[in-house]
């Protein structure tokens, strides 16, 4: 038996304010984990990215929920 799918939202390391806003936005959603990118240089993220925990495709409803919240807090145009 598997539980609900989870996703990881990774925020660029150079944007701590956005990270704080996203942590606050998703604190009540146990399916969403927010983390700051730890990579440096060319490998570092330039924009917020969403990944399915465990790989594979993210459930469309969960992706829509996350994308809507990202837009609401100004992380997506």
pTM value is: 0.87
Strand bridging mode 7-11 / 49-52: antiparallel
DSSP bridge pairs for 67: none
**Each residue's pLDDT tens digit, 61-73:** 999 999 999 999 9
Question: Rounded to whole angstroms, how far apart are CA atoms 77 and 60?
Answer: 19
The contacts of residue 35 (CB under 8 Å, 6+ apart) are 8, 9, 10, 11
* Residue 77, pLDDT score: 62
């Amino acid at each position: 038996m598997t539980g609900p799918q989870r996703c990881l939202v990774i925020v660029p390391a150079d944007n701590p304010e956005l990270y704080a806003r996203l942590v606050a936005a998703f604190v009540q959603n146990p399916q969403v984990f927010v983390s700051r990118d730890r990579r440096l240089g060319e490998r570092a993220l330039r924009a917020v990215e969403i990944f399915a925990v465990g790989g594979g495709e993210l459930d469309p409803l969960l992706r829509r929920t996350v994308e809507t919240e990202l837009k609401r807090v100004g992380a997506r145009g």
